[in-house]
Structures are given as C-alpha cells and as structure tokens.
Structure 1
C-alpha cells in the first residue's frame, strides 16, 4: 500500500511499519530549489553540477617564503660553496607584476606570490642566509637596495630542482572541471570551494522548516515549578533537537493545553513557516486526545489527499500514529504519540526520513547493521509487533539499555542504537544476531 489511497483502510486496520513509512515517503516531495547566498546554503543540497570557471590556483605561485631562482644558478650549491645571487626585487601575494629573473639573479618571494618570469624554482629561505651573508636563517630579512637598483645579494646553500616549491596553475582544479555534483550536501569545505572558484550564490534545495509542538495540559516548561500532576515537556525539546540533527531549520512551539480549538488555531498560525509539522501527544484513544479531535476534520478533503489519518501500527513503542496534510499548501503533518520513547523512536523511523526527503537527500534512513545480542536474559516481544528496544552498539555487539517501557527517558539518553525485534519473534536469546539501527 502507498500514497493517499492507503488512508481509506479504516480505523481498525493495523498498519505495518513499512506500509506507514511508504505512505509518508510516497506523499512527501522534495522542496523546490532556490538560489541562496553561500553563507545561507550550508547544509543544503545542490540541485545542479557546479563547473569551475577559473583554474585553482589561477597562476604558478610559491608554496614557501624564499627566493625565486633559475635552476642553473644554484646547481651544486652547498654550505661550503654557496651560490651567490643578486636580488633584483620582491614579490608578495596579490602583487600584479614581478621583476624578471635573469642569469645570476633572484627575487625574494612570499608564500602565494606569483612565480616571477624567468624563474624556474623557489629556494626556501631556510636554505639561504636571508640576504645578510650570515649563513642559513629561518625568517625573511629586509634588503637594502643598492645604487644600481639591486637589493643586495643572497647566499644559497642548497641546489633546487625545476619547479621545486612551485604550485602549478590548475594543480587543484582546472577551468571546465566539475567542482561539485548535484546531490552534494554543502558543508564547510564545499562552501570554501565554491567561494574559491568565485561563486557568490548557488542553487539548492533549502533546508526544510519543521515546526514541533507538544500537547497536554499536564506539561510544564523546564525552569518552571511543577504543579500537582504536572511533568516537564521533554518531547518538544528532544524532537526540536532531532529535527536540527536531521538537517532541518526547527521551530519549537510551547506546549499546547488539551483544547481542540486552541490546538487547531496554533497549528494554523504556524503553517506560514512550516514545510512539515510534527505534533506529539493526543493521538491515542483517551478522552482528551485533542490532536485527533482538532485535526481529524481539518484539511482539504479533495483529490490532492488533504486531511489527517490516525492509524494503529504493528510496532512497539509507537502504536498510535497520524499522518496527512493540512492547510492550503497541503503541508505534511506527522502526529506522534506522547510517551517520550514512543515519540523519539517514531521520529527516527518516520519523521527523519520525511525531513531528509524534503531536503532532496538520496539517503534518508539511519544506517543499519547486524550485531550479536549481549544480554543477561532473552528479550521478549509481543507477537505481531515490530519492537524497537534501546541499546548501545560497539564492535559488532549490541547491549540493551533499560527496559521496554515507553517512558524511560534516562535509558534513551544512554542509547546509541535501536534493537529491532521482528514481528514474527516473541523472544530473542542472548548471542542471537539481530538488526540494529544506528542512531549516532
């Protein structure tokens, strides 16, 4: 089953994890490309190949501070018998013109400066007396020009081969080369390369904007004093951080009380800045499950597939789920259960792939591997449910952390993997090979 047509299955239909995910990824589409300034494009995905307009480096230049020389003039140079050359000028990085290097001459050169005409190699300053006749030195010394226009002499104590310490034009990339290909995620090195070849803007799919909100009158904000029957709102903080980790621009909305009209109005107000809305809580069968009440009748029920479908999944934790679209732009909305572990596991399985699909990424899923179960006793799992248990993974072994309870936030904080128990298994013995979803 896939796409909006699957939402006609009815309230009693038990969805598989795979069918629910297929419905989501069959509905969510990558965001339309836009042109962004380089500094705004970090974390975005290129939608076109970028070709190099100018070679890097664009000219032969020195990789060292030293002296630009002719190879024949320093052949056989040594500490005992140095080559003595006349210094005819300086050339620094960014200098437009450089003196010509003739026979018996040298030009003092700085790192990154263009190789002067006539020069064939660069002798590092450490191989010279720095122009003072005092033997090898480790720094550049100033020269005093002679009355004839020369800059004095330099003693060179080592020979140099042709092109020594010279960065050739185009040795990094050549004009016409492909610098980056479509589908590349723009991290710091890629931003640097684009700047180096002169690109001020780039065409990308923008980072998805994800609005996260919790529901529940029992929720207090961290930093506040807890009242009777209250708990702190941890879900919206965890999901906000998870959305950012997935590459989104995240917006966290404070917890909304158990009032359908307030929730509906809050979500509608957030649509202006949302490419995806994620709610947590209020999707079960309780008397105060306001997300279902607020959203089951919201959306344009037309051929475009608007509206939210609330469904039961054959998984633990995270059985109650909601998915659909809302508002005039059919903004995707995923409604997750309210228990902290259920909420986070649901995010990893369903929301993260949706965010990465919106971003235009090819690989939308967390990596998985096979690992040996290291446990004191067998793991139990309900028949017909795919269970996701928290664990720590290292060197091909996975160890359970905490129990199966969907409220165990501390255990979740110490886990870096999910242990997958398939629907067909009711127990898994220690030493068994299991599937593991890697969260780190």
Structure 2
C-alpha cells in the first residue's frame, strides 16, 4: 500500500503555479493573492472623531464647565480651523479633529446644546480620537500573498487605498463522474439506481476554492464512455470520481491505465483507490466513487495540488478533545467528517463512523478529523487533530 505522503508528493509534482493577473477588488473574491497588498495611504488618513460630541481642550473641559461652541464640524468637511482656547467645537463621527483639541466629549456626557455646551464628564487626554495611521501606515502589508481573499480582506485593501489586486488565475477544473447506476438530482431512482451527488459535490468544492468547474458529461461503465466524456477537454486539472478501484467494471482505470495514469492503493481511509497522472497534457486525479471518499480525497489530495497551483500555504491544523470513541484502520490515516459541539469537543458527523457511502452525513460535518496511521482507536477524552471544512482548504 502506498504511503499517503508519497502519494501527495507525486500529486503536487504534477502541477505548476498558475499565471498572475490584476483584477478589480470585487473580482478578487475567493481568489488567491499572488502579491502582497501594500497600503498606499495611512489609515485613518487624518485624526478624526470616534463619537458624535464636542472637540475640546482637556484643560478647559472640567466637569461642570460651560464652553462656547465655536464651530460645527460635520463628517466630510475640509480641514477645520484650530480650536481656540476656552471653546468647544460640535463634531460628528468621522469628522477631522481641529488642531488644538486633544479630546472628544460624547454628546451623552454633555447637555447637547448648540451655542454653549455644559461638560458633565471631564475627558481623558486623547479620548475618542482616532489617530492618523493607527490602523495602517502607507507601505504596510495589509494582506499577505497566498491568502484566499474574502470580504474582510477586500475591505481592508480598499480602506488602504488599493483598487486592484494581483491574484492567481482561477483554475479551470474539469470534473467527471462515472456510473451507469447514476441519475440526476431530482429524479426518482429506479431499481438499482442512485442519485449522482458527486457532480454537485465536486463542482461546489471547486467553486469553494475560487475555481471554475467544467462539468463533463457523466460517463457510463465502459472505457469508451470515459474517453468520450474526456474528449476535447480543456482545463488546468481533471478530477474524476468513480471507476478507479479493482472491480470488474472500473472504467476510469481501464481507460486511463495505458494513457499516462497510474493507479494505487493509498494508505488512507476513506479514499484507498486512487489514480494520478497526466492525460493529454493535463494533470489528472482519479478519485474513488463513494461520496465521502470523494469529499475527503478532494480535500486532502486535490487540495494539495490546488495549493501548489495557487501558491497557497498549508491549511491550519487544530485540535479538540473527542467526546466519543471510534475505531481507525491500522496503517491508514483516517479522515472523519466531524462535528465540533458547543462545548468544544469533536465527534464524528455520523454514529456509523467513516463509512464512505454516508453522504447525507456530510451536511452535518464542519471539520475533518485526522487520525494518524499508527492509531487504531480513538477513545473519549483523546485529543484529535482536525482541519477545517472544504471551503477553507486553502488556508
């Protein structure tokens, strides 16, 4: 049986980094950043008020004092005149703080008057003033290369004066499912038929990593059908599901074994039967057919290939205490779709363990628990490592 580490090394070696392109911020959503985002301006770009209230000099604003209101400073106004000694300026949130003022008194701590204002609570120096550059300074790295961009990162880039981002080209990933027994979702299965959930699963996982799914026509259980579905495919990576094992009707293995793809028994559960290679110049990963195996092998194996293509870092592993126990096959790394309970403990998403056909249980899973190959059993109270869901395999 092939070591998982050996299999992953071969998978990564099949692919090369994708090209870099510059896109407007919103088009960067879910894409992987190729170059650091560098701030072009300070944030904030000027001292401004964090509250609606009054700009004052601390020395003047003792509790009970009454100060003439010398100016109104709304947000969006230009640079205000300096604050005269012994006066206050009514100021709105986000408005520039006048020179000379060293605190903001919130309106709730005053009588809220317009011509003169009574200060009910003396402010501390610097109170409620957002200082220029306290969040970011021009030249700082706002988002580091390798991050998959989300709404928070794009917002940070925008606030730092950046309008475009340099990202890796979105990978085009062709997905192919096989099986005469498969019918489309929404179809009532006949005798011996099952619903094709793998096409939806693979396409959704591709979208989750910022890729473009190319869903190929579903193939039947003959090598000729597989080759017909692959005919003319254009993609950065091909992923197949099903037909890669040792059965009498494993059409992917029969079709591709002499066309640049090698099939292995990999020391992982689920996902033992897999293939890797290059088909007509395109890297290809052949996954098992059971849906949980598809989900796991995509996350573990295809995920490694995508990180190499996108130059993204390895996913963050964390750990939790197991609330229940379960068995693990000796000599194979086990991956279990799991739930993290409100108390922070982790348990399998299904009471029936890591059986690869239990696709409906994937809907409950939020993490993928990882049991090392030398562990035969997880006991309640054991610490279990896990990685995040398929939507976060790039970071």
Q: TM-score range by the shorter chain?
A: 0.7 to 0.9
Please say if 1:318 is aligned against 2:271.
yes
Aligned counterpart in structure 1 of residue 262 of structure 2, from 297, 301, 309: 309
Match of 1:283 in 2: 244
CA, structure 1 residues 104+315, in 2 after alignment: closer, same or farther (shift >3 Å)?
A: closer
Match of 2:351 in 1: 401
Structure 1, gaps ≥5 residues long: 1-13, 132-142, 144-151, 299-306
CA, structure 1 residues 417+95, in 2 after alignment: closer, same or farther (shift >3 Å)?
A: closer
Match of 2:393 in 1: none
Deviations 1:277-299 (A, max 9, x none): 2111122344443323443455x
2-structure distance, mates of 1:429, 1:190? 38
Match of 2:40 in 1: 53
- Check the 8 A contact 2:216/2:230 in 1, yes or no: no
Structure 2, gaps ≥5 residues long: 390-395
2-structure distance, mates of 1:121, 1:374? 56
Post-superposition offset of 1:308: 2.1
Aligned counterpart in structure 1 of residue 50 of structure 2, from 54, 58, 63: 63
Aligned counterpart in structure 1 of residue 164 of structure 2, from 188, 201, 205: 201
Please say if 1:185 is aligned against 2:144.
no
1-structure distance, mates of 2:218, 2:135? 52
CA, structure 1 residues 325+89, in 2 after alignment: closer, same or farther (shift >3 Å)?
A: same
Match of 1:353 in 2: 304
Aligned counterpart in structure 2 of residue 115 of structure 1, from 90, 93, 97: 97
Structure of larger gyration radius: 1
2-structure distance, mates of 1:223, 1:286? 29
Q: TM-score, normalised by structure 2?
A: 0.82
Q: TM-score, normalised by structure 1?
A: 0.74
2-structure distance, mates of 1:188, 1:57? 20
Match of 2:14 in 1: 27
Post-superposition offset of 1:324: 1.3
Q: Which runs of 4+ in 1 moved over 6 A?
A: 370-373, 393-397, 431-435
2-structure distance, mates of 1:308, 1:419? 28
CA, structure 1 residues 246+90, in 2 after alignment: closer, same or farther (shift >3 Å)?
A: same
Match of 1:172 in 2: 135
Deviations 1:261-289 (A, max 9, x none): 45334334442xx3222111122344443
Post-superposition offset of 1:412: 5.5
CA, structure 1 residues 286+59, in 2 after alignment: closer, same or farther (shift >3 Å)?
A: same
CA, structure 1 residues 117+332, in 2 after alignment: closer, same or farther (shift >3 Å)?
A: same
2-structure distance, mates of 1:117, 1:23? 63
Post-superposition offset of 1:252: 3.9
Please say if 1:362 is aligned against 2:313.
yes
Match of 2:392 in 1: none
- What is the RMSD of the two structures over their aligned residues, measured on CA atoms? 3.4
- Check the 8 A contact 1:90/1:99 in 2, yes or no: no
- Check the 8 A contact 1:73/1:83 in 2, yes or no: no
Post-superposition offset of 1:71: 3.5
**Which deviates more from structure 2 when the two are superposed, residues 34-43 or residues 175-184?**
175-184
Match of 1:338 in 2: 289
Deviations 1:56-99 (A, max 9, x none): 1111111111222334433x341xxx3231x3332211112424
Post-superposition offset of 1:417: 4.2
Q: Does the residue aligned with 1:284 lie in a helix, a strand or coil?
A: coil
1-structure distance, mates of 2:272, 2:258? 21
- Check the 8 A contact 2:66/2:116 in 1, yes or no: no
Post-superposition offset of 1:193: 1.4
